[in-house]
Structure 1
Amino acid sequence: MILGSSKTTFLAIALVFAVIMMGTTLPTPLYPLYQQKLGFSQLMITVIFATYAVGVIVALLSVGTWSDQLGRRPLLGVGLALSAASAVLFLVGGSVGPLLLGRLLSGLSAGIFTGTATVTVVELAPRAWLSKATFVATAANMGGLGLGPLVAGGLSQYLPAPLHLCFILDLVLLALGGAVVWCAPETVTQPAGQRLRVQVPRVPAEVRGVFLPAAIAGFAGFAVLGLFTAVAPAVMGNILEITNRATAGAVVFVVFIASTAGQGGQQRLPETWRLPVGCLLLVVGVALIGAAIGLASLTALLAGAVIAGLGQGVTLRAGLGAVAAASPSHRRGEVLSTFFVVLYLALSVPVIGIGIAADTLGLRTAGLIFTVAVATLGLTALGSLLIQRRSKDSATESTVVSD
């Protein structure tokens, strides 16, 4: 056995989670190279990227709860196999078709791991790590997403085979991940009567007041992540005139690390202020991103990445916590799956909109329109939260007066 202690197992599975998520963002700094090689438009880049979100949503809705029936290890194994198939397609693909299929398989892999690996990390956590287990899983998720552009950008910029080396490394890491999953203990006892079903996105009426502002804020935050992972290299190359892929990867890395920091630090805020503060950070960060696009400023882009990333992290964790707390226990999984579907729609729909606008109006104009739209969403969520808070305060005052 490679995994001797419970702490070793816990950390090893978290690292496998990070490797899977890293694989999903490896293509980010390479999109300009694919564009030059295959001669497709900015719209096609965003379509290739958005195909990933389609895969995630399909996996969340179809197999999101299957690990409760089939076990964690089999689902993790399927996720690893799909990720490896995606890497192979990017290695051999010389046309748009394999890239689209590769992104779809990558999304399916990430959709399986998002739920299954998070639960597995929590279940394998030693007693001393129980309070930190959810954050470790989240950090593995976001940290892996940030590492993808950083690793691919550096390897493609300074070493040979820019379109291949990072995927070879990914396959090696996935093989090691397969060994880890093979040796990890199963945390689920399979029930006698297995019932595999497709998840239908639904939100109970009593949860909608909490769900709506959290979902709007989450949508805005994930749209920012979509912007950075799909369009940031093009913005840096065409507007900021920075073509170094390592630099582009580092900028995308910053937004994901800031998100991880936001998720870790949000607990220091009063609970009722977490979502409003996250929304405000998102709006400020997106405004700086818009200024960076308008003024061609790398400094403003980095500042926007940090502040928007912090806001995205705060809104994500605070929104998840609020929605989970408001949901009936017997429908919590259903509501959270719906929440994640909304988030991953934000990775596809706005990004495709940017691609269409970029082809018709130009990348700079498309980027500015995007920042205005996301800032409006953030302000809408903030306004909704403040109105809800005022209504609760008024109701409390009325109760006190009547008493």
Structure 2
Amino acid sequence: MSEFDSTAETPISSARRLAPSYYAATSALFLAASSAPTPLYPLYQRAFDFSPVLLTIIFAVYAFSLLAALLIVGSLSDHLGRRPAIFASILLNMVATALFLMAKGPDWLIAARIVQGFATGTAVSSVGAALVDLDPIRGSITNSLAPLAGMAIGALGTSLLIQFAPAPTVLVYIVTLVLLALQAVLLWLMPETTVRRAGLLASLKPQVAVPQQVRRTLLALTPINVAVWALAGFYLSLVPSVVRATTGSTAPLVGGSVVAALTISGAAAVFLLRKKSATTIMRFGIPSMTLGILTVIAGMHAAEVSILALGTLIAGAGFGAAFLGTVRSIMPLAKPDERAGLLSAFYIQSYLAFSVPAILAGFLSKALGYAEAADIYAAAILLLVGWGVLALRASREKPLSVA
């Protein structure tokens, strides 16, 4: 190899070494942008005078839009290339951020969340694929950790800006726009990790199928998976308002920190348990989530933020572990050519559980109050967990042991 060739390859090699960090940061930024509005919801409620029901609808349309993107354009980057798909999602997210920045009412927030959801769904699938292209093992771990870390950064960062900086409903989105613009530029310095292939139009048709050998396992795990995602949906939509109403704390940083605690401890659990069996993971996750929820309710009624935060950390660890255990229980049972359809079905179940119960909680909050709604919601989650434990025990396939 000549000196010229060696010099020419150096920028490419450097870019490839930096690519995993870039894609991890991109994934985290998209999820940070998605959770950034959560601490702002009480401010929007007061400014635009809308009910808890509309608040949860603003939250839920994001999940519906994200799910649509995953199902329709989830494999877009397999045909166009990773970088074009990611670039399009960055531009879409910039449009969503601009809509937030110009919001003059709840209809603007709904529009922004719809665009943001579609952008995030496109990015999650494309960035996730790029990470696995670069390193299948580390990429899979990063795909689990970066989104949870991003959600924590978004909630906590926004809370800090609300607490200590002027014009938080403006500054949050200016910072986000700057970071997105920077990532759009840096993207083209990264190497393409896949080769374009034909079949783009055919890939736009959603493929949803649960293989025969997975159905019993997925059915047994469904109550637990619904409980996991319902818990996350409640935190990312209503918890800042619940904290304010039940503890009397009006500091935005408190509500945002409680939300961040859920995803931080969830990410920590995923990282620490990543090498364990599905059985071990679920044996940790289910009791932790149960204990955490009970502690949260106790802290809420005692009006003690410290107890509420402690319960959130415990529940978050259970949330991360139960999610990891569910995925690890079902995916090995599917053949390679069946996994895309299975993941689509799993996404549908997860994101419906993420959004629909939160809307119901909004109706309960409007009719009964935040504390009473939280009590009923927690009881429903605990019943789902108990149902799931019984279903797993009754399952003849013993899915956790198999997985």
Which of 240, 243, 250 does residue 257 from structure 2 map onto?
250
- Residues 101-120 of structure 1 aligned to structure 2 (within 5 Å): 101-120=111-130
- Aligned letter for 1:136? T
Return the alpha-carbon distance in structure 2 between the equivalents of residues 316 and 3 of structure 1: 35
2:229 is equivalent to residue 222 of structure 1? yes
SS in 2 for 1:87: helix
Return the alpha-carbon distance in structure 1 between the equivalents of residues 95 and 88 of structure 2: 11
| Unaligned residue ranges in structure 2 (runs of 5+) | 1-10
| Unaligned residue ranges in structure 1 (runs of 5+) | 397-403
Return the alpha-carbon distance in structure 2 between the equivalents of residues 39 and 248 of structure 1: 20
Q: Which residue of 1 aligns with 2:197?
A: 191
Q: Which residue of 1 aligns with 2:3?
A: none
2:61 is equivalent to residue 51 of structure 1? yes
Distance 1:246 1:187, change over 3 A: same
- Aligned letter for 2:195? T
Q: Deviations over 1:104-161 (max 9, x none)?
A: 1111112112222111112123xxxx53321122211110011111111101111111
Q: Which residue of 2 aligns with 1:399?
A: none
Deviating beyond 6 angstroms after TM superposition, the runs of 4 or more aligned structure 1 residues are none
* Identity, % of aligned positions: 29
Distance 1:21 1:2, change over 3 A: farther
Return the alpha-carbon distance in structure 2 between the equivalents of residues 92 and 212 of structure 1: 44
Q: Post-superposition shift, 1:341?
A: 1.7
Q: Which residue of 2 aligns with 1:79?
A: 89
- Aligned letter for 1:156? I
Distance 1:44 1:302, change over 3 A: same
- Aligned letter for 1:159? A
- Residues 125-204 of structure 1 aligned to structure 2 (within 5 Å): 125=135, 131-194=137-200, 195-204=202-211
Q: Which residue of 2 aligns with 1:61?
A: 71
RMSD: 2.0
Q: Post-superposition shift, 1:268?
A: 5.5
SS in 1 for 2:50: coil
Return the alpha-carbon distance in structure 2 between the equivalents of residues 352 and 328 of structure 1: 36
Contact conserved, 1:263 with 1:313, CA < 8 A, in 2? yes
Return the alpha-carbon distance in structure 1 between the equivalents of residues 78 and 222 of structure 2: 26
Q: Deviations over 1:28-47 (max 9, x none)?
A: 11111101111111111111
SS in 2 for 1:163: helix
- Residues 3-402 of structure 1 aligned to structure 2 (within 5 Å): 4-125=14-135, 131-194=137-200, 195-267=202-274, 269-388=276-395, 392=398
Q: How many residues of Structure 1 are paired with residues of Structure 2 in the alignment?
A: 390
Please say which of residues 56-65 and 208-217 is displaced more in the overlay: 208-217
Q: Deviations over 1:290-313 (max 9, x none)?
A: 222333221221122111111111
The alignment's TM-score, normalised by the length of structure 2, stands at 0.92
SS in 2 for 1:348: helix
The alignment's TM-score, normalised by the length of structure 1, stands at 0.92
Contact conserved, 1:280 with 1:379, CA < 8 A, in 2? no
Distance 1:334 1:244, change over 3 A: same
Return the alpha-carbon distance in structure 2 between the equivalents of residues 99 and 115 of structure 1: 24
SS in 2 for 1:356: helix
Contact conserved, 1:324 with 1:332, CA < 8 A, in 2? yes
Return the alpha-carbon distance in structure 1 between the equivalents of residues 387 and 99 of structure 2: 41
Q: Post-superposition shift, 1:192?
A: 3.9
Contact conserved, 1:276 with 1:385, CA < 8 A, in 2? no
- Aligned letter for 2:145? A
Contact conserved, 1:3 with 1:183, CA < 8 A, in 2? no
SS in 1 for 2:168: coil
